[in-house]
Amino acid sequence: MTIHTELGSVLRSVAEARGLPNAHYTDPAVFAEERQSVLFANWAGVGFAKDVPETGDAKPVNFLGMPLLLVRDEDGGVNVYQNTCRHRGMILVEEPQKIRGAIRCPYHSWCYTLKGALRTTPHVGGPGRSIHEDIKRDELGLIRIRSYVWQDVVFVNIDGKAPAFEVANQHLLERWKEFDQPLYHGGAGASFTLSLDTNWKLAVENYCESYHLPWVHPGLNSYSRLEDHYNIEERGLYSGQGSLVYRQLKDDAGTVFPDFGALSDKWDTGSEYIAVYPNVLLGVHRDHTFAILLEPVDQTHTIEHVEIYYARPADDLPKGLSDRNTAQWKEVFEEDIFVVEGMQKGRSGIFFDGGKFSPAMDGPTHNFHHWVASQIEAGRSC
């Protein structure tokens, strides 16, 4: 059953708007609508290029029930395919693995190249005959999903109808062009996941705004006060927050992480945290970046995949410092769990009306609501 929630109030100015109705956080039918109109119709994050570092590395990903396969090809490119054989619909790869010469379907052994071409169809024309006039290999390659790697995040546009990634994200790519340089993942200690009993959008909304910092992250008050932050809002594009007082982490000897090259003065003490709609949260600093990929499991469950990157390979970083950095960020993100889960619980209150935004403080959150509502309205008009 399709439920057409009322979104007109969400699309008003921040001073007058209400937030998205409860059903957008609790109703499986609305979740299904958002799956198509918000997550499949835009550039959603589904993985990290660092997880397929070498030729032949393949990683299956289940994104909202859609089976995907990330594959590194011979030319170093990351490809995303539907992880489904063109013959009988068998899942091709079920565990991360090194593909050697062919992506081989485990059912009838149809074989595909790393670039998705159908290489052979054994016995398809009868025993010992791998050709048949009705099996046209050039029409039966793996279904390629549009993909783009930025900041090591593998973005996909599943419905294939969104503008090119560079067009859709032109404004943000320009804003952060100084960080368009090699990133090095911090290694095993620079990855962690958090499993949340909340709708994926609440994690975006909490990330966007600094209003909650003094209350939820009191440890930041001593050096990163609320007034040191600014809102980032680009209508129809992205939102987040920035800080003017980023302080580098130091070890006992005063050693810091190496900086990214040729950054402007703004980044000496500046940092920015932006939600790349729909489901990727990025943070940039002079000496490290991080990416949070929100995996929407269902309408009330989300997995946060957190990865931290540096300007130099992990072995070149000050010993022990990256572990401290990971621990610091993990503490901050864990402090947010009770609020994103609490907002989820609060949305079971049948009289909650989407909430009232602070025009001064909640602009980035409203910007996201407005964008989501716009995507849903666009989907309904098709």
183 to 53, 163, 205, 277: CA distances (angstroms): 13, 26, 26, 21
Least separation in angstroms between residue 347's CB and another protein is 49
Q: Which of 9, 26, 27, 56 binds another protein (CB under 8 A)?
A: 56
Least separation in angstroms between residue 104's CB and another protein is 5
Q: Which of 101, 218, 346, 359 binds another protein (CB under 8 A)?
A: 101
Q: Residue 376: CA atoms inside 13 Å, Cβ hemisphere, count?
A: 25
Least separation in angstroms between residue 99's CB and another protein is 8
CA–CA gap between residue 329 and residue 284 (Å, rounded): 13
Region binding another protein by CB under 8 A among candidate stretches 121-129, 144-152, 228-236, 349-357: 121-129
CA–CA gap between residue 137 and residue 124 (Å, rounded): 11
Q: Which of 26, 130, 191, 374 binds another protein (CB under 8 A)?
A: 130
Q: Of 377, 363, 350, which Cα lies nearest the Cα of 25?
A: 350
CB nearer to another protein: pick between 67 and 125: 125
Q: Which of 12, 129, 161, 171 binds another protein (CB under 8 A)?
A: 129
Q: Is the dihedral of CA 379, 238, 146, 100 positive or negative?
A: negative
Per-residue x/- mask for another protein, residues 7 to 36, rule CB under 8 A? ------------------------------
Q: Which of 4, 12, 123, 356 binds another protein (CB under 8 A)?
A: 123
Buried b (16+ CB within 10 A) or exposed e, 197-206: ebbbbbbbbb
3-state secondary structure at position 8: coil
CA–CA gap between residue 57 and residue 53 (Å, rounded): 7
The answer to the question of residue 128 lying near another protein (CB under 8 A) is: yes
CA–CA gap between residue 53 and residue 76 (Å, rounded): 9
Least separation in angstroms between residue 102's CB and another protein is 4
CB nearer to another protein: pick between 98 and 345: 98
Q: Which of 15, 29, 131, 360 binds another protein (CB under 8 A)?
A: 131
Range 359-378, binding another protein (CB under 8 A): none
Region binding another protein by CB under 8 A among candidate stretches 120-128, 298-306, 353-361, 367-375: 120-128
Q: Of 366, 352, 367, which Cα lies nearest the Cα of 26?
A: 352
The answer to the question of residue 141 lying near another protein (CB under 8 A) is: no
- Please count the residues of this chain forming the interface with another protein, following the rule CB under 8 A: 22
CB nearer to another protein: pick between 125 and 379: 125
Region binding another protein by CB under 8 A among candidate stretches 82-90, 114-122, 194-202, 280-288: 114-122
Least separation in angstroms between residue 67's CB and another protein is 21
CA–CA gap between residue 11 and residue 113 (Å, rounded): 46
Q: Of 292, 258, 315, 284, which Cα lies nearest the Cα of 179?
A: 284
CB atoms < 10 A from the CB of 145, how many? 22
Q: Please, which contacts does 247-254 make with residues 24 or more away whose CB atoms are closer than 8 Å?
A: 247/223, 248/285, 248/286, 248/287, 249/321, 249/324, 249/325, 249/328, 250/321, 251/318, 251/319, 251/320, 251/321, 251/324
Asked if 107 contacts 87 with a C-beta cutoff of 8 angstroms, the reply is: yes
CB nearer to another protein: pick between 20 and 99: 99
Per-residue x/- mask for another protein, residues 61 to 100, rule CB under 8 A? -------------x-----------------------xxx
The answer to the question of residue 111 lying near another protein (CB under 8 A) is: yes
Token pair 């992480």 in the structure block, residue: 257
218 Cβ contact partners less than 8 Å away, ≥ 6 residues apart: none
Q: Which of 26, 36, 109, 248 binds another protein (CB under 8 A)?
A: 109
Contact residues: another protein, CB under 8 A? 55-56, 74, 98-102, 104, 109, 111, 119-120, 122-123, 125, 127-131, 137
